[in-house]
Amino acid sequence: MRRDAVSGRLPDFPWDALGPYADRAGAHADGIVDLSIGTPVDPTPDVVQKALAAATDAPGYPVTIGNPATRQAAIDWLARRFGVTGLGLDGVLPLVGSKEFIASAALHLGIGAGDLVVQPELAYPTYEVGAALAGARILAADSLTAIGPEVPRLLWLNSPSNPTGRVLPPDHLRKVVDWCRDRGTLLISDECYIECVWEGEGVSVLHPDISGGSHEGILAVHSLSKRSNLAGYRCAFVAGDPAVVGELLAVRKNLGLIMPGPQQAAMVAALDDDQHVDAQHATYAARRAKLRPALESAGFRVDHSEAALYLWATRDEDCWQTVGRLADLGILVAPGSFYGPTGGRHVRVALTATDERVSAAVDRLTAG
């Protein structure tokens, strides 16, 4: 297939448009402060590095379903941290990072032309990419009534949200679970930021108070990239309805989509250890406590942002104008329009910079 044919059926890769603003920010005398992408900058935990090193002798192919120890670690973590019960080994599947799953889930589950996929109004672009790859239609809607009479094949939730940091309340999660089950719609909840909550509490759709004690028709996606600084390891998993996990497994066996054995050992170590997660949470909380008031002192209003690794900020102007203003201060942020039309007056400001760079941003924002 020609390259132009491939690109024509996918949305534009939004971050390409940030290039000129990155150049402007990079021209600052004290260098750029890149708060545009949520890439971890702190060290991978020692306990995880040691587990990876100990597992490097891995001459054979791992199984696609994942090692029992890997899946059990995920089950134990969900139970310990989020009160999830009733999961078995057949309801957990390791992933080569959560993004590949989000981009491929619709295609792998047989969703295609004529089918409807629903995503949040403000959403990471990969949900739309996944629908486009499958040839399905995408609808951005936060209200169930906005979906109308058509029955979607797949509905995505994202709580805590990227980009807004919003956490959906339990009553709303229960309502969505019931709505999807009544219609036979598969519900997949992207919960990758569930351990990055600053105000309130993160809740999984797999919790018995939300799911009604059954995981039928529900999946939850979790990533270790942000909680454990493992973005470079590509460690994630999906859990929930064993029947749907089985469908995914059948496809992934044929495609050879397998998490490498050493990474599975690292994933077990990361999920079994809460201490490094709590320490990293405190580090991000401290950066957030500096950056938020600095933005507010510079005339920004911060909306939502009770969770995740971002501040959803606005000066009540076009987001690209804000991006330009901040680039002139040497600060690079993501325009809210990357995440949907209703984000056109916000910017997403990441907390994933070193303490030194966050302090530099604070100084620049408060200098005037």
Please identify, among 273, 304, 325, the residue that sits at the C-terminal boundary of a domain: 273
Closest C-alpha to 92, from 240, 264, 256, 204: 240
DSSP string, 284-310: HHHHHHHHHHHHHHTT-EEES-SBSSE
Judged against a pLDDT cut of 80, whether residue 5 lies above it is answered with no
Mean pLDDT of 241-250: 98
- Helical segments of the chain, H only: 3-8, 19-26, 46-54, 68-82, 98-108, 126-134, 170-183, 208-211, 242-255, 261-272, 275-297, 319-328, 355-366
The amino acid at 366: T
pLDDT tens column, 57-92: 999 999 999 999 999 999 999 999 999 999 999 999
Is residue 166 domain-shared with residue 67, that is, in the same domain? yes
The model's confidence at residue 223, banded by pLDDT at 50, 70 and 90, is: very high
Q: What is the pLDDT of residues 6-35, one digit of tens each?
A: 455 666 677 788 999 999 999 999 999 999
Q: Are 315 and 322 in contact (CB under 8 A)?
A: yes
Residues 84 and 101 in one domain: yes
d(CA 172, CA 162): 18
CATH number for the domain spanning 58: value is 3.40.640.10
pLDDT at residue 2, as a whole number: 36
CA geometry: angle 100, 101, 102, nearest 5 deg: 95
Give the structural domain span for 192.
46-273
- Mean pLDDT across the stretch 183-209? 96
With a CB cutoff of 8 Å and minimum separation 6, the contacts of 107 are 130, 133, 134
Mean pLDDT rounded to a whole number for the chain? 95
Which of 238, 258, 273 terminates a domain? The answer is: 273
Rounded to 5 degrees, what angle do the CA atoms 23, 27, 30 make? Answer: 130
Question: Rounded CA gap, 283 and 290, in Å?
Answer: 11
Tell whether 339 and 214 lie within a shared domain.
no
b/e 257-284 (16+ beta carbons within 10 angstroms → b): bbbbbbbbbbbbbbbebeebbeebeeeb
Q: 3-state SS of the chain: helix, strand, coil percent to 5? A: 45, 15, 40
Shared-domain flag, residues 232 and 348: no
Q: Residue 45: how many CA atoms within 13 Å on its side-chain side?
A: 26
pLDDT at 275: 97
Residue 131 in tokens: 């629908």
pLDDT at position 15, please? Answer: 74
Same structural domain, 250 and 114: yes
Q: Are residues 32 and 52 in the same domain?
A: no
State residue 96's pLDDT score. Answer: 95
Q: How confident is the model at residue 368 (pLDDT cuts 50, 70, 90)?
A: low
- Same-domain check for residues 303 and 256: no
Average pLDDT over residues 213-222: 98
Q: Are residues 191 and 320 in the same domain?
A: no
Q: How far is CA 280 from the centre of its chain?
A: 17
> Can you list the pairs that 170-179 forms with residues at least 24 positions away whose Cβ atoms lie under 8 Å?
170/203, 170/209, 170/210, 173/203, 173/205, 173/210, 174/209, 174/210, 175/144, 176/144, 176/205, 177/205, 177/210, 177/211, 177/212, 177/218, 179/144
pLDDT in tens, 146-165: 999 999 999 999 999 999 99
Q: Can you tell me the mean pLDDT for 260-280?
A: 97
User: Residue 138 above 70 pLDDT?
Assistant: yes
> Angle at Cα 253 formed by Cα 250 and Cα 255, nearest 5°?
115
Q: How far apart are CA 250 and CA 203, in angstroms?
A: 29
| Domain shared by 284 and 244, yes or no | no
Question: Could you say which of 273, 307, 328 is where a domain stops?
Answer: 273
Query: Contacts for 83-88 with beta carbons within 8 Å, 24 or more apart?
Result: 83/207, 83/208, 84/204, 84/206, 84/207, 84/208, 84/239, 85/208, 85/213, 86/208, 86/213, 86/214, 86/215, 87/206, 87/215, 87/239, 87/240, 88/242
Label residue 1 by pLDDT band (50, 70, 90): very low
pTM: 0.94
User: Quick one: what percent of the chain has pLDDT higher than 70?
Assistant: 96
For position 7, which CATH number holds? 3.90.1150.10
How is residue 197 annotated by DSSP? B
- Check pLDDT > 70 for residue 3: no
Decide: 366 and 298 in contact? Cβ < 8 Å.
Answer: yes
**Residues 138 and 287 occupy one common structural domain:** no
What pLDDT does residue 4 have? 44
Q: Rounded CA gap, 3 and 6, in Å?
A: 5
pLDDT at 122 over 60: yes
If asked whether residues 289 and 189 sit together in one domain, one would say: no
Same domain, yes or no: 39 and 186: no
Indicate the number of domains in the chain: 2
pLDDT of residue 11: 65
